[in-house]
Amino acid sequence: MSVLYDAPGPKTRRRHVIGGIVGGVVVGAVIALIVRKLDKEGQFADAYWAPFQNSGVWQNTLLPGLRFTIQAAVLAIALAVVFGILLCSARTSEHRWIRVPGAVVIEFFRACPLLLLILFFYLAFGKELGTLWPLVLGLMFYNGAVLAETFRAGINAVPRGEVEAGYSVGLTKSQVSRLILLPQAIRAMLPAIISQCVVALKDTSLGFIISYEELVRRGKGIYESYYNIIPTALVLAAMFITINYTLSKIATLLVARLRRRGQRPVERTDVGEVTMEPTAR
């Protein structure tokens, strides 16, 4: 029950039911309108959907495409984590001449459009590197910069007193990092890292533009021979949504578990901004 409205009485409940019916009708009408338009234009014709009932198309086109998508995403995330750790340690360094360049690099890759990076790597090194590596490099730099900020927030989320307590019982700096900071920080960051995987997985589709054979590019092969752009796009969207929704659900469950244990997870918005949960709730 939301705090926005009271537990409804009989009159209000009736009004809510009426509102629900009216709202349902409006939503239903919008959906019906879209479906009718698609139907009138023959988008539900068997010829358009036939390729997706053909197991050959799945085995030879779509599933390999999905494999290429996942391959690029996994490579990119793995490299981005490494790059992110490097950037984060530069950003939090005690030496100004390391800290400032670290911050500049992070801000540059966060402000620069990912596609601009990918196109740059493709135009500069495409002849030698093919299409996979320009895509992976672009994703690595962008996601690495975002992850660096996530890591920093995760480390900041550990209460200062714990670090001071570590020093006061005579632990060295690396022991404090290894035994106190990292175990807690990683747990707090895990949901944010999983959300970043969703972002990276979605962004691999930019490989389409430099003709990397990922899922959407494979879909292009289908819609160019069957002239079924809308059915193809809907099938591809369903595949992406299934994977990403599952990953997002896992992240949400992890956040809920952390909160039950009274820890504060590092939250990230979907645009690469890292925020801390407000404590006062």
Partner 1 sequence: MNVLADNIGTILDGFRETIALTALSAACAIVLGIILAAMRVSPAAPLRWAATSYVNIFRNTPLLLLFVLFVFGLPTIGLRASFFTRAVIALSLYTAAFVCEAVRSGINTVPTGQAEAARAVGMTFTQTLRHVVLPQALRAAIPPIGSLLIALTRNTSVAEAFGTREATYVLDSLGRDHASALYWIFAGIALGYIILSLAIAGGFRLLERQLAVIR
x/- letters, 195..234, toward partner 1 (CB under 8 A): ---x---xxxxx-xx------x--xx--x---x-xx--xx
The secondary element (H helix, E strand) that includes residue 267 is strand 266-268
* Binding track, positions 60-89, relative to partner 1; x by CB under 8 A: ------------------------------
Query: Quick one: DSSP state of residue 172?
Result: -
User: Which residues, 6+ apart, have CB-to-CB distance to 202 below 8 Å?
Assistant: 240, 244
SS3 157: coil
Does position 132 bind partner 1 by CB under 8 A?
A: no
Q: State both tokens at 72.
A: 């690029």
The distance of closest approach from Cβ of residue 150 to partner 1 in the complex, given in angstroms and rounded to an integer, is 14
**Other CB atoms closer than 10 Å to residue 9's CB: what's the count?**
9
Q: Residue 37: enclosing H or E segment and its boundaries?
A: helix 10-40
**Residue 97 lies near partner 1 (rule: CB under 8 A):** no
Shorter beta-carbon distance to partner 1: residue 59 or 252: 252
Query: 99-102 long-range contacts, Cβ below 8 Å, gap at least 24?
Result: 102/148
Minimum CB distance to partner 1 smaller for 143 or for 158: 143
DSSP category for residue 94: S
Backbone angles phi, psi at 9, to 5 degrees: -85, -175
- Work out how close the CB of 93 gets to partner 1 at its nearest, in angstroms, rounded to a whole number: 23
Binding segment for partner 1 (CB under 8 A), chosen from 57-65, 86-94, 117-125, 148-156, is: 117-125
Residues forming the site for partner 1 (CB under 8 A):
2-6, 8, 16, 19-24, 27-28, 37-38, 41, 43, 108, 111-116, 119-120, 123-124, 198, 202-206, 208-209, 216, 219-220, 223, 227, 229-230, 233-234, 236-237, 240-241, 244-245, 248, 269-273, 275, 278
